[in-house]
Structure 1
Amino acid sequence: MSLKHPRTILVALDSSPRASLVLAEGVDLAQKLGGSLVLVRAIGLHHAIPVEALNESPTRVPEILERNDREELEQQAREAPPGLVGKVVVHVGVAWEVICRTAEEENADLIVIGSHGYSGIDKLLGTTAAKVVNHTRRSVLVVRERPTD
């Protein structure tokens, strides 16, 4: 594992508007350092259950959520320069655990993750980024939103 020549850069993406900033940072690093990207998304409690899931058995809901999120993540992968994204991974689970586990499974040299503002619940439970930093054995780049003038 080397940050001078990372082979694998894991980019953790959620469905927030800031995900494109995180992906852009991962793409920039991979291009400059010669690595490839693994895009990962964890599916937890969804803020919006797809309409099609409402008519299905509860056991099918995770499958539907995973399919929808995989399609969105694959679209983001297509927006990256050709050949840069080596893999797209989507798992149901707690975000920080999925990210840390996937980083180990993919032997990632670096994890790129977004930092999100501290809402009341974040102060109580801690952010996903903070938990990843505290629980992984990998180096982590936390991408912050650029300040507005």
Structure 2
Amino acid sequence: MSQYNKVLVAIDLTEEAPQVLDKAIEICKAHSAELMLVHVVEPVGYAYGGDIPMDLTELQDQLDAAAREQLQKYGATYQIDDGNQIVTVGRPESEIHRLAEERNADLVVVGSHGRRGIQLLLGSTANGVLHGAKCDVLAVRIN
């Protein structure tokens, strides 16, 4: 088994996030690795197709602030340093790849619902992270 020094765990801030975090923390303890907690907020215009002719900056700022607040709660609960709690805006797969490279992560941990067939082809974030990552990726199956 590889020795991991930096583990980036990407969560979606749902009630399922602790399952993914627990697995990442287990790995970090086993390897004495540093844990980085990441949440990616999708751009509001992207989520709505980008065709809305109005300024969505305030809504985007509110989503970003809410994500930061929730991530800080997870950080406090799981004792993750503030500097390793990252909220960013963009496409989840791209941002996770970028952050993993910038932060020299050896392992990315993401949640997966274990979808198959057409659902998997149509946009599983875990699948997107797996294809294109330059480090190991662990998809934690969500129950």
Interval containing the TM-score (normalised by the shorter chain):
0.7 to 0.9
Determine which of 8, 11, 34 is the counterpart of 1:10: 8
Partner of 1:62: 60
Match of 1:126 among 118, 123, 126: 123
Query: What is the DSSP-based 3-state SS (H/G/I as helix, E as strand, rest coil) of the residue aligned with 1:137?
Result: coil
The 1:107/1:45 distance shift into structure 2, 3 A limit, reads: same
- TM-score normalised by the chain length of structure 1: 0.78
Deviations 1:93-144 (A, max 9, x none): 1111111111111110100010124389734423100111101111001101
Could you tell me which runs of 5 or more consecutive residues in structure 1 were left unpaired when the two chains were aligned.
47-56
**Sequence identity of aligned pairs in percent?**
34
Q: What is the rounded CA distance, in whole Å, between the counterparts of 1:26 and 1:84 in structure 2?
A: 15
SS of equivalent residue, structure 1 residue 70: helix
Look up the equivalent residue of 2:31 and give its one-letter code.
Answer: L
Return the TM-score normalized by structure 2: 0.81
Unaligned runs of 5+ in 2: 45-54
Moved beyond 3 Å, runs of 4+:
82-86, 119-124
Check whether the contact 2:114–2:142 (CA below 8 A) recurs between aligned residues: no
Superposed displacement of residue 40, structure 1:
0.5
